[in-house]
């Protein structure tokens, strides 16, 4: 039986700056996700993923993507999303390779929908462009 591969349905970026301050300086990154089965088939899912990076001067880069399709390669989609986010903010390929060498997507990062949305809004509120001085 044919199933549709997991494909990106939508993407939203929230960046304090267009590029990272200095990819040679230490930066942190992480992800969290939520999801649900769609239809009566167990292998079809909607996957909601937030990946984020904070550079050495606390600029935050957030990517929120929604995927839909067969759940078979959901872990690879999250890793790819993080890798592409790093590329998009000008982290060099060598740094990306080094930082993701031991990166592992774990199901412990799953959050129920309400907790996922709250964590996303909390992260977004930490952005400089949304803070009032």
Q: What pLDDT digit, counting tens, does each position of 37-92 carry?
A: 998 878 899 999 999 999 999 999 999 999 999 999 999 999 999 999 999 999 99
DSSP SS3 for 45: strand
| Confidence band for 130, pLDDT divided at 50, 70 and 90 | low
> Is 122 contained in some domain?
yes
Q: Which two three-digit tokens encode residue 17?
A: 């700056």
The predicted structure's pLDDT at residue 2: 54
> Is 66 contained in some domain?
yes
> Is 60 contained in some domain?
yes
> Is 2 contained in some domain?
no
Q: What is the pLDDT of residues 6-18, one digit of tens each?
A: 999 999 999 999 9
pTM value is: 0.92
Residue with tokens 């089965």: 37
> Is 34 contained in some domain?
yes
State which residues form the domain around 17: 7-130
The predicted structure's pLDDT at residue 3: 67
> Is 55 contained in some domain?
yes
Distance between alpha carbon 32 and the CA centroid of its chain, in Å? 7
- The total of structural domains in the chain comes to 1
Q: What is the pLDDT of residues 66-81, one digit of tens each?
A: 999 999 999 999 999 9
**Measured distance CA(74)–CA(49) in Å, rounded:** 10
> Is 96 contained in some domain?
yes
> Is 1 contained in some domain?
no
CA distances from 124 to 19, 65, 99, 106 (A): 17, 15, 23, 23
């Amino acid at each position: 039986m044919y199933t549709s591969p997991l494909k990106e349905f939508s993407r939203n970026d929230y960046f304090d700056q267009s590029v990272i301050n200095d990819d040679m300086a230490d930066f942190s990154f992480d992800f969290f996700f939520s999801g649900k089965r769609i239809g009566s088939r167990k292998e079809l899912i909607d996957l909601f993923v937030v990946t984020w990076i904070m550079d050495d001067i606390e600029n935050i880069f957030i990517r929120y993507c929604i995927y839909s399709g067969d759940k078979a390669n959901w872990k690879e989609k999250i890793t790819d999303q993080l890798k592409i986010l790093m590329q998009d903010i000008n982290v060099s390929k060598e740094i990306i390779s080094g930082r993701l060498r031991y990166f592992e997507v774990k199901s412990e990062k799953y959050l129920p929908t309400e907790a996922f949305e709250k964590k996303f809004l909390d992260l977004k509120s930490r952005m400089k462009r949304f803070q009032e001085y």
